[in-house]
Amino acid sequence: MTMKTNKGKDALFTEINITPLTDIFLVLLIIMMVVAPTFQSNDSSISIPEINSGIAIEHKNATVSVTKEGDMYLNGNPVTEESLTDELVALKDTLEEPELVVKADERVKSSKIMEIMNAAQGAEYKKLIVAGEPLSKKEQKNLKDNSEKQIGG
């Protein structure tokens, strides 16, 4: 492509016309701005709980672990639903603060967690922490093995 200059000589036109390219990018940007809100389908009436990440759970607290079968362990020792409140009351005096940590497998029913909450309330614990990670298979196996050793030996 050549163009005439004032001096009458042919010169090469070496500049790129970016106007059409800019138009295309602006159209794509507008489309994305219009379409993006439809991808966010959160119901405004639902309040999603926040999770504080990076905070370590202190092991000084009482910990109730629940396996996927529903077996409960208080600080690694097997415990039944009926005796959980009594065990928590007995353990409360040895704790600095009456706090209970619940670690449960992801397949545990919510009713089981509610039973633990009721037992903690009956034992007058001031704080209940539900751990964000479920019990791993290795932790569940260790709890079962330790309880079998205590029962057997």
Tell me, yes or no, whether 95 lies in a domain. yes
Tell me, yes or no, whether 49 lies in a domain. no
When divided into structural domains, the chain yields a total of 2
Tell me, yes or no, whether 40 lies in a domain. no
pLDDT of residue 28: 95
| Same domain for 72 and 22 | no
| Same domain for 77 and 21 | no
| Same domain for 68 and 25 | no
pLDDT of residue 26: 96
Rounded to a whole number of angstroms, the distance between the first and last alpha carbons of the chain is: 94
pLDDT of residue 138: 74
- Alpha-carbon distance 25 to 149, whole Å? 68
pTM: 0.53
Find the domain containing 69 and state its range: 62-152
Please, are residues 143 and 67 in contact by the beta-carbon 8 Å criterion?
yes
Tell me, yes or no, whether 51 lies in a domain. no
| Same domain for 139 and 77 | yes
Element (H, E) at 146: helix 137-152
Longest dimension (CA), the chain: 107
pLDDT of residue 72: 86
Tell me, yes or no, whether 108 lies in a domain. yes
* Residue numbers in the chain where pLDDT is lower than 70: 1-10, 40-60, 132-136, 152-153
Q: Per-residue pLDDT tens for 88-130?
A: 888 888 888 888 888 887 777 888 888 998 998 988 888 888 7
pLDDT of residue 126: 84
pLDDT of residue 42: 45
| Same domain for 75 and 128 | yes
